[in-house]
Structure 1
Amino acid sequence: MGRSALITGITGQDGSYLAELLLSKGYEVHGLIRRSSTFNTERLDAIYQDPHASDRRLFLHYGDLTDGVTLINVLRDVNPDEVYNLGAQSHVRVSFDQPVFTGDVTGVAAMRLLEAVHAAGVRTKIYQASSSEMFGASPPPQDENTTFHPRSPYGVAKLYAYWATRNYREAYGIYAVNGILFNHESPRRGATFVTRKVTRAVARIQAGLQDKLYMGNLDAVRDWGYAPEFVEGMWRMMQAPEPQDYVLATGTAHTVRDFVQLAFGHAGLDWEKYVEHDQRYERPTEVDALIGDYSKAKRDLGWEPQVHTPDLVKIMVDADIKLLDDERSGRLVRVDV
């Protein structure tokens, strides 16, 4: 019998790519989704089969990371071989506006899930989606031994989840790993995140539907990779003989300004004609530079990124131009989540 996995945050960028990857490897995949007044499963449309089909291998369960009882019940019902905790309030800027909520669903919720696994008595491996934002003010390059110094409520919440994962691994012998992932993007990135905000604006400006793009700090340095490659790294961490924590990154550095210039340039536009600064998008405390060292993942897992920022930008701009063209021609109706 094939393996099974439970994914929280399955409707997000990483969750949808991970579901596709696991299905391609023969897994039965279960996803935890929140009850919502609007549909939020668009990223799964390509893989969500007829719910009545006999060969169905993707199952969605209503639940929430703030509801420990439901987590225990789902874990007992599914009894998964692997659990991937990708659910969170993951927007860094928004975490300053909703710090307590972010702390609950991004930080404490990870503890809730770990305790649910422990309480349910299921033998499973757990992947915790940790973040490079935990490094914050620590100078690059950052690796598994770099001191943490988060600079946002989001980073603080992720740090709580990171240490909770390590504690349950050490206290109860649970196979639990932290994937410390640096920025990873794709055409499935939510529209309010800076990279997708840029590439969508490029498509709309080129089409004459938008005049300006308002941005915050253009000098922040980031290490941007390609999300489908990073979820492959998640899976590889879960196949290692012993549970360990790993950084996934590209090891390359670009400013937000570089990303903007590459995106507009790919569409044949001069970015300086369209981009203006807006103080509202500045963070109260900025993270100046995040550049990861993925040497351990390369050595232990054989993982290495192939797509770097310039190619990533082209992938995202081309996808948003095509998406806009499809929407305008009536070939596609889509709601971003």
Structure 2
Amino acid sequence: MKRAFITGITGQDGSYLAELLLSKGYQVHGLVRRASTLNRSRIDHLHQNPDLHLHYGDLTDGVSLVNLIHAIEPHEVYNLGAQSHVKVSFEMPEYTASTDAVGTLRLLEAIRASGLDCRFYQASTSEMFGATPPPQAEDTAFYPRSPYGAAKLYSHWVTVNYREAYDLFAVSGILFNHESPRRGESFVTRKITLGVASIKLGITDTLTLGNLDAVRDWGYAPEYVEGMWRMLQHDEPGDYVLATGIGTTVREFCEAAFAHAGLDWQDHVRLDAKYERPTEVDALIGDATKAREVIGWEATTDAKGLAQIMVDADLEQLGRLVENKRGERQIP
């Protein structure tokens, strides 16, 4: 039985990856941060699986990573843990660097020092391209425009360095925006689909957003975690862009989400400059030719289909909450 170690297992990508690996017969170990309240809702449905094991630790604590790598002896390590919100990275730049940049170094060093023959996946990001015009591929110049993008760029290059210096099987997946009903509520796509559901159900009447002109390449997260796994199954390590190749503005995503619920977005959306970044990334559109040709991966869900999936899920989730509250009020 293969053993996999996932940092960020409680996040969107980590939860989908855990599902995928468990379905393939892996023993899955996940890193979780200690907190006074549990934040494991995305993996609650997996808790009864005897092949899932959770461990306390943190990417800012190198000792915990060394101990866990030694104890688990994983065949595959997926580094998905991060402070992943771009806007927040401007407010918490030092923490973002410690977690996203130096955290990767700590994990790589733990693997190197252990002497294990394991394969390492680094979650890189399209935000590393930043101001570089699209389309963006593996050999496109990087120009990050946020502390998050800069921290991830360090992680990307230190992964390449460990691959070349120590002959580690280390890959970087340069993933463009990928979303799902499990996306955090502060990210713009989920903020939009939750807003649509709230307006449709009569809970609110408006949704406040920032820059509607930003262009992103949005795909469906479950498809992208399969790409991560495929990278580690290939004979040779390398870096891969995962993307749909289609650019969509925030305005267009918003329009599709509202239209799916039978609403006109212009009747409900308000703009506020406080939601804009200090330095904006205007357009990210990926070229995933290498992933298609080398590891056989290709995105199949476009932004419109993604908006529909997320709106349906948020309508169902909020609908249940509304019904539960109605039932509570009827209890004498």
Unaligned stretches of 5+ residues in structure 1: 51-55, 332-337
Q: Distance in 2 between matches of 1:280 and 1:122?
A: 47
How far does residue 121 in structure 1 lie from its aligned partner after superposition? 2.2
Amino acid paired to 1:213: L
CA deviations on 1:111-148 (whole Å, 9 max, x unpaired) are 11101111222221100000000000001000000000
RMSD: 0.9
How far does residue 153 in structure 1 lie from its aligned partner after superposition? 0.5
SS at match of 1:45: helix
| 2:31 counterpart of 1:37 | no
**Residues 128-143 of structure 1 aligned to structure 2 (within 5 Å):** 128-143=122-137
Give the one of 161, 177, 181 matched to 1:183. Answer: 177
Q: Distance in 2 between matches of 1:240 and 1:87?
A: 23
**Percentage of pairs with the same residue:** 63
Q: Distance in 1 between matches of 2:324 and 2:112?
A: 49
How far does residue 207 in structure 1 lie from its aligned partner after superposition? 1.0
Q: Distance in 2 between matches of 1:281 and 1:104?
A: 25
Q: Distance in 2 between matches of 1:150 and 1:243?
A: 24
For this pair of structures, how many residues does the alignment match?
A: 325
Q: Distance in 1 between matches of 2:90 and 2:195?
A: 24
| 2:199 counterpart of 1:199 | no
Counterpart in the other structure of 2:59: 65
CA deviations on 1:139-185 (whole Å, 9 max, x unpaired) are 10000000000000000000000001000000000000000000000
SS at match of 2:314: helix
Q: Distance in 2 between matches of 1:125 and 1:301?
A: 16
Amino acid paired to 1:122: L
Q: Distance in 1 between matches of 2:321 and 2:22?
A: 29
**Residues 108-127 of structure 1 aligned to structure 2 (within 5 Å):** 108-127=102-121
When normalised by structure 1's length, the TM-score is: 0.95
Give the one of 199, 202, 207 matched to 1:208. Answer: 202
Amino acid paired to 2:194: R
Counterpart in the other structure of 1:265: 259
Q: Distance in 1 between matches of 2:274 and 2:115?
A: 47
Give the one of 166, 181, 184 matched to 1:172. Answer: 166
Q: Distance in 1 between matches of 2:26 and 2:118?
A: 14
Q: Distance in 2 between matches of 1:150 and 1:245?
A: 18
Q: Distance in 2 between matches of 1:62 and 1:19?
A: 17
Q: Distance in 2 between matches of 1:302 and 1:226?
A: 17
Q: Distance in 1 between matches of 2:289 and 2:217?
A: 15
CA deviations on 1:61-103 (whole Å, 9 max, x unpaired) are 0000011111011001100000000000000011111111111
- Residues 202-211 or 223-232, more deviating: 202-211
SS at match of 1:46: helix
Q: Distance in 1 between matches of 2:92 and 2:225?
A: 27
Amino acid paired to 2:180: S
Counterpart in the other structure of 2:328: none
| 2:105 counterpart of 1:106 | no
How far does residue 330 in structure 1 lie from its aligned partner after superposition? 2.5
Counterpart in the other structure of 1:328: 322
Unaligned stretches of 5+ residues in structure 2: 326-332
| 2:88 counterpart of 1:94 | yes
When normalised by structure 2's length, the TM-score is: 0.97
Q: Distance in 2 between matches of 1:23 and 1:133?
A: 30
Q: Distance in 1 between matches of 2:324 and 2:16?
A: 26
Q: Distance in 2 between matches of 1:65 and 1:248?
A: 25
Amino acid paired to 2:25: G
Q: Distance in 2 between matches of 1:273 and 1:37?
A: 41
| 2:244 counterpart of 1:250 | yes
Counterpart in the other structure of 1:48: 47
Give the one of 317, 320, 323 matched to 2:311. Answer: 317
Q: Distance in 2 between matches of 1:201 and 1:317?
A: 9
Counterpart in the other structure of 2:294: 300
Give the one of 66, 78, 86 matched to 1:84. Answer: 78
How far does residue 208 in structure 1 lie from its aligned partner after superposition? 1.1
Amino acid paired to 1:47: L
